[in-house]
């Protein structure tokens, strides 16, 4: 595999499992120094050990991205330690599933704190470092819920919609500084959480997958390929986009059977 990220430094929030871990592994395989953060130490240790065993350069930081000061400090510390910051992937997420009538303000605020506020904090901190270098790439992980309405997911959907529009604004502000900012818009992805739900409700899982034009959920590695492309010089003229990687779901017009 090409070592086209050799010497570059990447931070991935929510990097200890799922899409974040797959992205961290792929970047490390391609030569990057990767720093992942997450809340659960056991998962961080497991992810770090896996990537290190693959020969990758990896650091792991226990961190709740909802802690604004800790998040900004971590980004500054990573940039100071390695003397640069080339890439940031805002992947950490929070979701609450309930109808609006039962959704609490605390749930709403938690989803926005992780899915929107933390992205603002980390992007601001990263752009400060990247602007000084005259180059950088940021990828924010959104959701099809941010571009299509889904019942019972008001706080998650609204926060992901905010993330998508923030991505476009950040891209406009970063363009003349050599900073590209894009969003990846996943649909259903077969992470550990999705697999756990599928085991509990197999009939719903089958119907959900069948409603996707390609007939299946995506794999974390498929999302990682799209993310890493957006981070790479192969995407050097792409900024301000929100790219669906969802098996065709966002493009689908629903027609009742």
pTM, rounded to two decimals: 0.95
221-235 pLDDT tens trace: 999 999 999 999 999
88-141 pLDDT tens trace: 999 999 999 999 999 999 999 999 999 999 999 999 999 999 999 999 999 999
Mean pLDDT is lowest, of 4-8, 128-132, 199-203, for 199-203
For the question of residue 156 being annotated catalytic, the response is: yes
CATH number for the segment(s) 9-235: 3.40.50.720
Long-range pairs for 36-40: beta carbons < 8 A, 24 or more residues apart? 36/11, 36/12, 36/60, 36/61, 37/11, 37/12, 37/13, 37/61, 37/62, 37/63, 37/65, 37/74, 37/92, 38/13, 38/14, 38/62, 38/63, 38/92, 39/63, 39/64, 40/16
9-30 pLDDT tens trace: 999 999 999 999 999 999 999 9
- Identify the three-state secondary structure at position 183: strand
With vertex at residue 134, the alpha carbon angle to CA 133 and CA 138, rounded to the nearest 5 degrees, is 95
pLDDT above 70 for 1: no
If you average pLDDT over every residue of the chain, what do you get? 95
pLDDT at 256: 76
Percent of the chain whose pLDDT exceeds 70: 99
So where are the chain's domains?
9-235
> Cα separation of 14 and 118, whole Å?
12
pLDDT at 257: 72
pLDDT at 49: 97
Contact call for residues 184 and 141 (beta carbons, < 8 A): yes
| Pair of tokens at residue 69 | 């000061």
Closest to 97 in 3D by CA, of 142, 44, 152, 49: 152
Find the mean pLDDT for residues 45-63. 97
> Cα separation of 130 and 95, whole Å?
30
**Length of the chain counted residue by residue:** 257
Q: Catalytic one among 82, 97, 156, 237? A: 156
pLDDT above 80 for 198: no
Closest to 66 in 3D by CA, of 42, 93, 41, 48: 93
């Amino acid at each position: 595999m090409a070592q086209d990220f050799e010497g570059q430094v990447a931070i991935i929030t929510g990097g200890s499992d799922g899409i974040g871990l797959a992205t961290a592994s792929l970047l490390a395989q391609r030569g990057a120094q990767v720093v992942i953060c997450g809340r659960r130490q056991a998962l961080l240790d497991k992810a770090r050990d896996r990537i290190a065993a693959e020969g990758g350069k990896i650091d792991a930081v226990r961190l709740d991205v909802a802690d604004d000061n800790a998040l900004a400090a971590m980004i500054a510390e990573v940039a100071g330690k390695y003397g640069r910051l080339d890439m940031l992937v805002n992947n950490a997420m929070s979701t609450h599933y309930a109808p609006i009538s039962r959704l609490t303000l605390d749930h709403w605020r938690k989803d926005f704190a992780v899915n929107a506020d933390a992205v603002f904090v980390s992007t601001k901190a990263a752009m400060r470092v990247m602007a000084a270098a005259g180059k950088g790439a940021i990828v924010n992980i959104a959701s099809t819920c941010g571009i299509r309405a889904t019942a019972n997911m008001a706080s998650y959907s609204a926060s992901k919609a905010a993330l998508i529009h923030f991505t476009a604004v950040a891209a406009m502000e970063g363009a003349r500084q050599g900073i590209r900012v894009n969003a990846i818009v996943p649909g259903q992805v077969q992470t550990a959480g999705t697999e756990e739900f599928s085991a509990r409700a197999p009939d719903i899982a089958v119907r959900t997958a069948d409603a996707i034009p390609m007939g299946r959920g995506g794999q974390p590695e498929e999302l990682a390929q799209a993310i890493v492309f957006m981070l790479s010089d192969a995407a050097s003229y792409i900024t301000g986009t929100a790219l669906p990687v969802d098996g065709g779901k966002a493009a689908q017009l629903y027609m009742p059977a």
